[in-house]
């Protein structure tokens, strides 16, 4: 990788002020995407601000309405958290499905959603549960956060502090993993939330999206049969060496059906 200036931030305020300097300054959380990208020279920041030492960014807080998860909380911490397993078990299942144990010990929720890989899992959880992203300047609803492939609505200099997940009535995540990378070829997060049914699909398109036809069908009757007959259009879906757009469209229906089965049964 190319050389860079390294600084460790002591607080969010400190990180925000350091972010302004340098030609191409990036935050370093768990580094599971950034370091790999820098090794391939796909990313070449001139300055790196390490936020891993900011204690206020870590931790999981449970309230009666849901969970607040700090941006630097690792996937392993979410997957093994008693609070998460009690209040939103589908979230623990999702976190546990990311990468592998070593990646989960370093990778963070903040890093995952800031990167918005089209095949990442967390975007499906945020969109599926109607979560809210809290940054150092404002709060952003999940519906407004994921803007496109590797794009979010974060402004330059904006730092994710935490994500609030409202507790759903029931929810499940079902994923068809790439057998090598374990990224989602298609991942579907289904939730019966306080404000209605949400079905969030990741891996299939440029960015996570809601399957509105499935949401309507499940709102009428929350059962696997409601979505089993719904075929998704394949135009605008990803086609690559792992799966064609047509196959991904088919997988959305299969994963949605299995997710609903899990949500009603579990």
Of 15, 19, 48, 174, which lies in the binding site for other proteins, with binding defined by CB under 8 A? 48
**Closest to 61 (Cα-Cα) out of 92, 89, 90, 82:** 82
Q: Could you give the CA distance from residue 136 to residue 119 in angstroms, rounded to a whole number? A: 26
- Backbone phi, psi, residue 115, to 5°: -80, -40
In the complex with other proteins, the residue whose CB is nearer, 114 or 227, is: 114
Give the range of 30-38, 86-94, 168-176, 200-208 binding other proteins by CB under 8 A.
30-38
Of 32, 112, 207, 226, which lies in the binding site for other proteins, with binding defined by CB under 8 A? 32
Residue 82 touches other proteins, criterion: CB under 8 A: no
Residue 15 touches other proteins, criterion: CB under 8 A: no
Residue 50 touches other proteins, criterion: CB under 8 A: yes
- Which residue carries 């969030």 as its tokens? 200
In whole angstroms, how close is the CB of 26 to other proteins at the nearest point?
12
Residue 135 touches other proteins, criterion: CB under 8 A: no
Residue 28 touches other proteins, criterion: CB under 8 A: yes
In whole angstroms, how close is the CB of 77 to other proteins at the nearest point?
10
* CA of residue 187 relative to chain centroid, distance: 11
Buried b (16+ CB within 10 A) or exposed e, 29-42: bbbbbbeebbeeee
Give the range of 3-11, 138-146, 200-208, 255-263 binding other proteins by CB under 8 A.
3-11
In the complex with other proteins, the residue whose CB is nearer, 89 or 99, is: 99
Of 62, 103, 206, 264, which lies in the binding site for other proteins, with binding defined by CB under 8 A? 103
**Closest to 159 (Cα-Cα) out of 113, 197, 192, 216:** 113
Residue 264 touches other proteins, criterion: CB under 8 A: no
Kindly write out the interface string for residues 181-220 of this chain, putting x where it contacts other proteins by CB under 8 A and - elsewhere. Answer: xx--------------------------------------
Strand runs (DSSP E) across the chain, as ranges? 5-8, 25-28, 47-50, 60-62, 66-70, 132-135, 139-141, 146-148, 151-152, 160-166, 170-177, 184-193, 196-202, 209-210
- Do you know the residue count of the chain? 266
Laid out side by side, the sheet with 184-193 consists of: 170-177, 184-193, 196-202, 209-210
* CA of residue 194 relative to chain centroid, distance: 20
Residue 35 touches other proteins, criterion: CB under 8 A: yes
- Which residue carries 């990313």 as its tokens? 43
Residue 99 touches other proteins, criterion: CB under 8 A: yes
User: What tokens appear for 49 in the block?
Assistant: 């601000």
Residue 80 touches other proteins, criterion: CB under 8 A: yes
* H or E, element range at 50: strand 47-50
Site for other proteins in 221-240 (CB under 8 A): none
# residues contacting other proteins (CB under 8 A) = 30
Q: Could you give the CA distance from residue 176 to residue 257 in angstroms, rounded to a whole number? A: 12
- Binding positions for other proteins, rule: CB under 8 A: 1-6, 8, 28, 31-32, 35-36, 38-40, 48, 50, 52, 76, 80, 99-103, 105-106, 180-182
């Amino acid at each position: 990788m190319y050389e860079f200036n390294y600084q460790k931030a002591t607080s969010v305020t400190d990180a925000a002020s350091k972010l302004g300097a340098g030609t191409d300054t990036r935050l370093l959380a768990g580094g599971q995407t950034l370091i790999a990208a820098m090794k391939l020279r796909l990313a070449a920041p001139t300055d790196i601000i390490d936020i891993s030492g900011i204690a206020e960014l870590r931790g999981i807080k449970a309230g009666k309405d849901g969970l607040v998860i700090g941006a630097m909380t690792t996937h392993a911490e979410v997957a093994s958290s008693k609070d998460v397993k009690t209040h939103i078990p589908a979230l623990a299942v999702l976190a546990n499905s990311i990468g592998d144990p070593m990646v989960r010990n370093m990778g963070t929720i903040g890093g995952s959603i800031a990167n918005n890989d089209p095949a990442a899992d967390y975007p499906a959880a945020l969109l599926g549960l109607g979560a809210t992203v809290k940054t150092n300047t404002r709060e952003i609803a999940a519906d407004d956060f994921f803007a496109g492939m590797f794009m979010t609505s974060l402004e330059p200099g904006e730092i994710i502090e935490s994500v609030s997940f409202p507790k759903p009535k029931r929810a499940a995540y079902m994923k068809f993993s790439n057998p090598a990378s374990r990224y989602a070829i298609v991942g579907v997060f289904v939730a019966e939330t306080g404000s209605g049914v949400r079905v969030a699909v990741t891996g299939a398109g440029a960015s996570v999206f809601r399957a509105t036809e499935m949401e309507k069908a499940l709102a009428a009757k929350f059962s696997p049969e409601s979505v089993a007959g719904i075929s998704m259009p394949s135009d605008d879906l990803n086609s690559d060496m792992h799966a064609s757009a047509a196959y991904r469209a088919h997988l959305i229906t299969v994963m949605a059906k299995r997710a609903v089965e899990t949500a009603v049964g579990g």
